[in-house]
Structure 1
Amino acid sequence: MNCRLLYQFLLAGSLFFSGTQSGETAEGSPDFETEIVPLLINRCIECHQEQNKSGSLSVVTRADLLKGGDSGTAVDLKSPLESHLLARVRDGEMPPEKQGRPQKLPADELQRLERWLAAGAPWPEGRKIDLFERTTKLRAGRDWWSLQPIKRPAVPTLKTGSQPANPIDAFILKRLEEKQLKPAPLADKRTRLRRLYYDITGLPPTLKQITQFENDTSPDAWERRIDALLASPQYGERWARYWLDLVRYADTSGYERDQEKPFAWKYRDWVVDAFNSDLPYDRFILEQIAGDELPDRSKSSVIATGFLRLGTWNDEPNDPLDYQYDRLEDLVHTTSSAFLGMTVKCARCHSHKFDPITQEDYYRMASAFWAGPIAAGDRKLLGGPKPEQLGFPDVLGWTDLSSSPAPLHVLKNGEREHPLQAVTPASLSMIPELERPFTPHPKDADTSHRRLQLARWITNPNQPLTARVFVNRLWLHHFGEGIVRSPNNFGFMADPPTHPELLDWLAAEFQSGGGTIKRMHKLILMSRTWQQSSLHPQAKEYQSRDAGNRLWWRAERRRLDAEALRDSMLARTGELDLRRGGPGFRPAISAAALEGLSTKSKAWQASPPEEQNRRSLYTYSKRGLLPPMMTTFDLCDSTQSCGKRDVTTVPTQSLAMLNNEFVHARSETLAREISQATSEPGAQVRQLWERVYARPPAAEEKTLAVRHLVVQSAHFQKSQQQAASTSSTEMTPNELALASLCHVLFNSNEFLYLD
């Protein structure tokens, strides 16, 4: 035996027999907790856990490591540097390839592993390593920031300038102060009011409303306007739309047949009413997940469970039993994304690659829905409970089809034909303090009561995710970006919060206020941060230092979304129908958009014209045929939860505004109305500016607009003469000229954007 091997043998033996297992560490050995545990968590334990261990090898405990696996002994304590485990690591076989790419251990990690094995693999007695016990460079652990208890931080005190009254401003200004930046000045009253109306109602203010506000010098003018708008029915319609994006709302099922979901619109109306009545957020959650299981169950709470029925639905899947698991995935994903901001569905086939969510966690959560329309053991796919099972007629809702469903098993690699252990229905394990199994249903219950227990876990006052995720959604829709800019993901792959203390303060404030949403709106809207201008005197310098505006040194300039754009055109022409609720209307869709549909004559029948001027919220949402005008302006895909819509700037948007029949119809309607009121070009221009922009035209604008009317009127008169048109319904040259000017205004940045 050479000297090196003799040294290794003596070293390993002495360590092994002198208390290695009790946690003693030899001089020169890597520190187990800070150097070895992160290595094992990052590189080994994902595949070598106690359950479903690859090659039958587990590295969770020292005994497991020394026991080895299918290939025999993994660690040879007599010749540790010749161990089979180390040989495979050196050869690059371990860790295994990922996505076809070698994952060879870096030199410093290999050296650390060698030193540890040479020291006899010292391991504290009784120490058991958990894949998710701590955050590492590669994944989040249970110590991840979003999983920690919400603790209200102290409101910062500024060193320079006066202390703001609104705590939001204190958090924002403190960070700006630290970076030696100053916020933008307040936006002017007109800009602020226009922004406020769109934020709360999704509709523009009129010239009269703007003038009244500009002339109101009372100190509470702003607060009173906020209160009035939050009390308006249009508030619920605006904010319901954001929630409908989250829960993948549509009126049809998707897939080839795309059949209608009867009475889905009642869920939409329930969401509108919930926002307008300021339903506490915990109740808002409970009714949607388990409204049929609540002690005070009502028709309204059962309608709320339509949340669980909104997903796509294939009534003729290739394999009905496999498809049941796809539907479970949809329910797990939508519920966890909307309420918790976590991507639990990623753990269907294996423990989550980045977040502390085990594969068993996925099936634990899925078991809450297992007793419903996807009940196990049935060879055919179930469409859902019948109205008599819900207890109310004409409702698209959810209730369990069995109070004692068959056990749900973890599936190896997510494959139905390879079941593993049965799961005990329970909450997720990522927050140990709140982890608990679900108790059996009451003896006289018709349902499993698992969804109610899941909902109560989500709404537990000590649940750290629920409030954080929701206040971040409020911030996103008020400011254009969230404090966490990945609103549906608060895990390891999330964008870090720009102001973590502010996020926690808002979450704590939301909880202490009983989960009332309107109160949080008002708090944000009263802040100076929200009211600041999008223009900054030092914008060029600040842009170079904080291009993403993560410090909120100015307001973001924002384009109207698809619904606000359509509704604004109808509002400005005076055509907007503010009737609320009921079945959705079907807008007219051009023949070109129907080309290629196999049953285009039956695929879409537009509603009568008098029905088509309702708010965009009430558009009938057919998954296979969304209105082209709306999708052009980034209407979201309704097949999965959408926390934040894409905002694009593409040529098709300009083309749509220039050529779309709806836009032309609005221009013509407004032109006819103004032409009937006055024939004088200057007066027409003034009325047009006041209607579309809610302000009078500037002198130069008026001059150019009048010139436009004169030139275009002559052009249209010549065109009509050449065509020898005698139609009594055709617009006059003057009306056509005014319509073309209206079209210009509808295409302008002043109409399309909020400053």
Structure 2
Amino acid sequence: MNCRALLLFAIVIHSLAAGSADADEASFESDVAPLLIRRCVECHQGRHPSGNLLLTTAEGFRRGGDSGPAVDLDNPQDSYLLQRIHDGEMPPEKKGRSQQLPEQEVAVLQRWIAAGAEWPKGRHLDWFERSSDVRGGRDLWSLQPVRRPDVPRLQTLPQPANPIDAFVGARLEEQQMSPAAAAGKRVLLRRLYFDLIGLPPSLEQVEAFERDDSPQALEHVIDRLLDSPQYGERWGRYWLDLVRYADTSGYERDQEKPFAWKYRDWVVNALNSDMPYDRFVIAQLAGDEIPERTEASVVATGFLRLGAWNDEPNDPLDYQYDRLEDLVHTTSSSFLAMTVKCARCHDHKFDAIKQEDYYRMASAFWAGPIAARQRKLLGGPTPEELGVTEVLGWTDLGPTPPPLHVLHNGEREAPLDEVVPASLSMIPDLERTFDAPPDGSKSSHRRLQLAQWIANPDNPLTARVFVNRLWQHHFGKAIVRSPNNFGFLADPPTHPKLLDWLADEFVKRGWKIKRMHKLILTSKTWQQSSNHTEFSSYNQKDSANRLWWKSERRRLDAEALRDAMLAVSGELDLRVGGPGFRPTIDAAALEGLSKKSAAWNPSPPEEQLRRSLYMFSKRGLLPPMMTTFNFSDTTLSCGKRDVTTVPTQALVLMNNPLVHARSRRLASTIIANGAQGRDRVSQLWSAVFAREPFAEEFRLAEKHLETQLRRFEPLATEPAQTEQTGSPETLALASLAHVLLNSNEFIYLD
């Protein structure tokens, strides 16, 4: 062997030996730090670490705790830390369950200590930096920057034009599945109408759509509906759920919030005008602080006034902090889908939200009318302070509010450090301390800076959260099926790449909401049928339809159900905006009120024919029909309504006076139009279902009419009764109309 070969051989042997030695040493960043954060730092951090052993810094680790040094570098195997671990005492039990470290994790610590327990200079371990199996860190998926993924290339399915279909198709291919066929045009149009405006199409509109064979037929209808005033009413209702909208304050007196309806109208107008979502966010949090302030932007700050308000709290000083919690919770839930309020008393148990973060966000509202003031102000500023009259708005009471402190266990009488107003720390790249207000400002400008942080295009939550909400209301279920929680306990996204692509596209399209509607509605995924030829086998694979292999069948929500009844009976009043109407409520529902006689004065009958959006919402007296069909909670941000199926819903549809009145009006109109015999049945089907009845439906309908006519004929001899309730023919046809309004075809969307 020549000298060169010997030298090469020696180098290789030395390299292998060095590599073997390196393999025996544990890496601090990749092995040790994650282990300490996951297993130890929860107890050994902060001002009062357990046993006075601080494991977040090199200094604390080397200093040790009450029992002395944690490690013995001269005799590593005798280190106190390793002894406690070997004895099973560390980590301690949780809820009676052992937390003993697996052998491989013990080996990591042994190798690290044996090698000298090197700790990088200046390295501070943060409990929130990494996720574990029991909590989320700043590395949680929802806190990572939005990265636009490439649109997948499909292998077995045809490559679609719409990127949404490519992302959905790629997941289906992985499971050797295929999407459902397209829904029929009649089904598609009804779905589209309810999706965008919350109302059914007429027979004429259905027939016109069926006759239109152009490739742009659906797009033309989408554009027309998006330009309709009813679009903002439909989608405004979803937003009102999020911001806990109501027209009264709640609690015992439940007094009216004057001009709350102006905020509702502002939301409708903002959506109809396609206000960019980033401006939509900023206006509601800081419409009084923006340079282009107008009366409308001040109305938008009604967002901060919509919560329940107690005019006589047990402790007014404590109640200030309850009000802060409401503002923090509604803001963080609506815009960020994070449960920041859970950090009021301590660090968040599951997410990377420190207690200090809660008070950082709260500091943005601390300069406002939080403290107890005159009862007549309902927890808000005076018109002079607000700068406008007849507006339920919010503004700061000065540029420099008193200090706000972190509170030990959330207790007012146990203040800790003063809070430095700032954004949340869970997104380090965007973390910022709020600047002092400009000279001469009447406001602290903290809310504006918070709003700008939320609306920052680089904020990983804002766009993701909103496009997830759009998907939810178009498909019945969201990509992240816990739409108000994107934290550790969130339901994982069904299609994370699709979510990021949509979020990026939303920002690139100028935060324009209507463009995103059209993108979703023109996808084959949205246009699928709710039936599938492989339903049985696919349902076994994916019963929750997380892969979107078919459309979801959905029941109409409370508002759409009531509005649809008014629409098909020809009574719906489409006036937009203004003060709400008070519906008639059964006397039995008033029994729980302290002042029954003056508690509720229903509006005139003609006023009650308006859309449900304009129904006066009294927190202590929500209409029973609406709550039976899962109307939203008005005390907390509601990102997803419950969808229940209970016997009382059937009873309401059978017995509620509103349903009977719509049935009678529909029957009266058909008879007044001169329809006879089968034409009456045909017109009834056309009005309710926007189609002609089938032969079997004709037969059953005529049989029903004959039976009911015999039942009501004796009333013909009682003119007073007939004048009040209608002729026997009207009552018989109304009975049939009542059947149709109770049918699944009317109540559900395919």
Q: TM-score range by the shorter chain?
A: over 0.9
1:352-384 CA-partner distances (Å, limit 9, x unpaired): 222211111111111111111115999999811
1:600/1:88 CA distance change after superposition, 3 Å: farther
Instruction: Please show how residues 143-154 of structure 1 align to structure 2 within 5 Å.
Output: 143-154=139-150
Structure 1 CA distance for aligned equivalents of residues 568 and 64 of structure 2: 75
Mapped pair 1:358 → 2:354:
yes
1:153/1:104 CA distance change after superposition, 3 Å: closer
TM-score by length of 2: 0.93
3-state secondary structure, aligned to 1:729: helix
Structure 2 CA distance for aligned equivalents of residues 568 and 492 of structure 1: 39
Match of 2:631 in 1: 635
State the AA in 1 paired with 2:433: P
1:520/1:724 CA distance change after superposition, 3 Å: closer
Structure 2 CA distance for aligned equivalents of residues 112 and 57 of structure 1: 21
1:671-726 CA-partner distances (Å, limit 9, x unpaired): 222222236331211111111111111111011101100011101224777x9975
State the AA in 1 paired with 2:420: T
Structure 2 CA distance for aligned equivalents of residues 89 and 608 of structure 1: 75
Structure 2 CA distance for aligned equivalents of residues 178 and 474 of structure 1: 26
Match of 1:738 in 2: 733
1:678/1:81 CA distance change after superposition, 3 Å: farther
1:260/1:379 CA distance change after superposition, 3 Å: closer
- Any conservation in 2 of the 1:57–1:64 contact (CA below 8 Å)? yes
- Any conservation in 1 of the 2:196–2:226 contact (CA below 8 Å)? yes
1:669/1:380 CA distance change after superposition, 3 Å: closer
Instruction: Please show how residues 251-330 of structure 1 align to structure 2 within 5 Å.
Output: 251-330=247-326
Structure 1 CA distance for aligned equivalents of residues 283 and 385 of structure 2: 17
Structure 2 CA distance for aligned equivalents of residues 393 and 71 of structure 1: 66
Mapped pair 1:677 → 2:673:
yes
Structure 2 CA distance for aligned equivalents of residues 375 and 41 of structure 1: 40
Deviation at 1:661, TM superposition (A): 1.3
Structure 1 residue corresponding to 2:601, chosen from 574, 580, 605: 605
Match of 1:197 in 2: 193
Deviation at 1:572, TM superposition (A): 0.4
1:753/1:228 CA distance change after superposition, 3 Å: same
- Any conservation in 1 of the 2:348–2:354 contact (CA below 8 Å)? yes
Match of 2:235 in 1: 239
State the AA in 2 paired with 1:746: L
1:76/1:207 CA distance change after superposition, 3 Å: same
State the AA in 1 paired with 2:729: N
- Any conservation in 1 of the 2:241–2:639 contact (CA below 8 Å)? yes
**Structure 1 residues 710-719 or 197-206, which shifts more?**
710-719
Deviation at 1:90, TM superposition (A): 6.7
Structure 2 CA distance for aligned equivalents of residues 208 and 656 of structure 1: 30
- Any conservation in 1 of the 2:131–2:137 contact (CA below 8 Å)? yes
Match of 1:422 in 2: 418
State the AA in 2 paired with 1:427: S
1:89/1:696 CA distance change after superposition, 3 Å: same
- Any conservation in 1 of the 2:26–2:109 contact (CA below 8 Å)? no
3-state secondary structure, aligned to 2:263: helix
Deviation at 1:84, TM superposition (A): 6.0
Structure 1 residue corresponding to 2:515, chosen from 512, 519, 537: 519
Mapped pair 1:621 → 2:617:
yes
State the AA in 1 paired with 2:683: Q
Match of 1:122 in 2: 117
1:227/1:718 CA distance change after superposition, 3 Å: same
Mapped pair 1:212 → 2:208:
yes
1:501/1:556 CA distance change after superposition, 3 Å: same
Structure 2 residue corresponding to 1:467, chosen from 463, 470, 484: 463
3-state secondary structure, aligned to 2:526: helix
Structure 1 residue corresponding to 2:644, chosen from 645, 648, 656: 648
Match of 2:160 in 1: 164
Deviation at 1:247, TM superposition (A): 0.7
Match of 2:10 in 1: none
**Structure 1 residues 102-111 or 402-411, which shifts more?**
102-111
3-state secondary structure, aligned to 1:282: helix
Deviation at 1:76, TM superposition (A): 5.7
Structure 1 CA distance for aligned equivalents of residues 500 and 109 of structure 2: 43
Match of 2:407 in 1: 411
State the AA in 2 paired with 1:750: E
Match of 1:439 in 2: 435
Structure 2 CA distance for aligned equivalents of residues 588 and 91 of structure 1: 70
3-state secondary structure, aligned to 2:266: helix
Structure 2 CA distance for aligned equivalents of residues 54 and 259 of structure 1: 50
Structure 2 residue corresponding to 1:504, chosen from 497, 500, 505: 500
Structure 1 CA distance for aligned equivalents of residues 418 and 80 of structure 2: 34
Deviation at 1:311, TM superposition (A): 0.9
- Any conservation in 1 of the 2:582–2:616 contact (CA below 8 Å)? yes
Structure 2 CA distance for aligned equivalents of residues 600 and 94 of structure 1: 62
> How many percent identity over aligned positions?
65
- Any conservation in 2 of the 1:92–1:102 contact (CA below 8 Å)? no
- Any conservation in 1 of the 2:337–2:485 contact (CA below 8 Å)? yes
1:379/1:702 CA distance change after superposition, 3 Å: closer
Structure 1 CA distance for aligned equivalents of residues 40 and 107 of structure 2: 14
- Any conservation in 1 of the 2:244–2:306 contact (CA below 8 Å)? yes
Structure 2 residue corresponding to 1:137, chosen from 133, 142, 165: 133
Match of 2:533 in 1: 537
- Any conservation in 1 of the 2:35–2:105 contact (CA below 8 Å)? no
Deviation at 1:493, TM superposition (A): 1.1
1:588-621 CA-partner distances (Å, limit 9, x unpaired): 0111111232212222111111110100000101
State the AA in 2 paired with 1:317: P
- Any conservation in 2 of the 1:25–1:122 contact (CA below 8 Å)? no
Match of 1:661 in 2: 657
State the AA in 2 paired with 1:653: Q
Mapped pair 1:338 → 2:334:
yes
- Any conservation in 2 of the 1:89–1:104 contact (CA below 8 Å)? no
Q: How many residues align?
A: 730
- Any conservation in 2 of the 1:46–1:351 contact (CA below 8 Å)? no
1:71/1:259 CA distance change after superposition, 3 Å: farther
1:77-115 CA-partner distances (Å, limit 9, x unpaired): 6776776666766777655665x5455435548845873
TM-score by length of 1: 0.92
- Any conservation in 2 of the 1:321–1:381 contact (CA below 8 Å)? no
1:259-294 CA-partner distances (Å, limit 9, x unpaired): 111111100000000000000111101100000000
Deviation at 1:51, TM superposition (A): 3.7
Deviation at 1:496, TM superposition (A): 1.2
1:121/1:261 CA distance change after superposition, 3 Å: farther
- Any conservation in 1 of the 2:27–2:112 contact (CA below 8 Å)? no
3-state secondary structure, aligned to 2:498: helix
1:134/1:352 CA distance change after superposition, 3 Å: same
- Any conservation in 1 of the 2:185–2:210 contact (CA below 8 Å)? yes
3-state secondary structure, aligned to 2:406: strand
Match of 1:10 in 2: none
State the AA in 2 paired with 1:576: L
1:316/1:726 CA distance change after superposition, 3 Å: closer
Structure 1 CA distance for aligned equivalents of residues 135 and 650 of structure 2: 43
- Any conservation in 1 of the 2:430–2:459 contact (CA below 8 Å)? yes
1:253/1:376 CA distance change after superposition, 3 Å: closer
State the AA in 2 paired with 1:484: V
3-state secondary structure, aligned to 1:529: coil
State the AA in 1 paired with 2:480: V
Match of 1:9 in 2: none
3-state secondary structure, aligned to 1:530: coil
Structure 1 CA distance for aligned equivalents of residues 376 and 225 of structure 2: 49
**Structure 1 residues 192-201 or 88-97, which shifts more?**
88-97
Gaps of 5+ in 2: 1-19
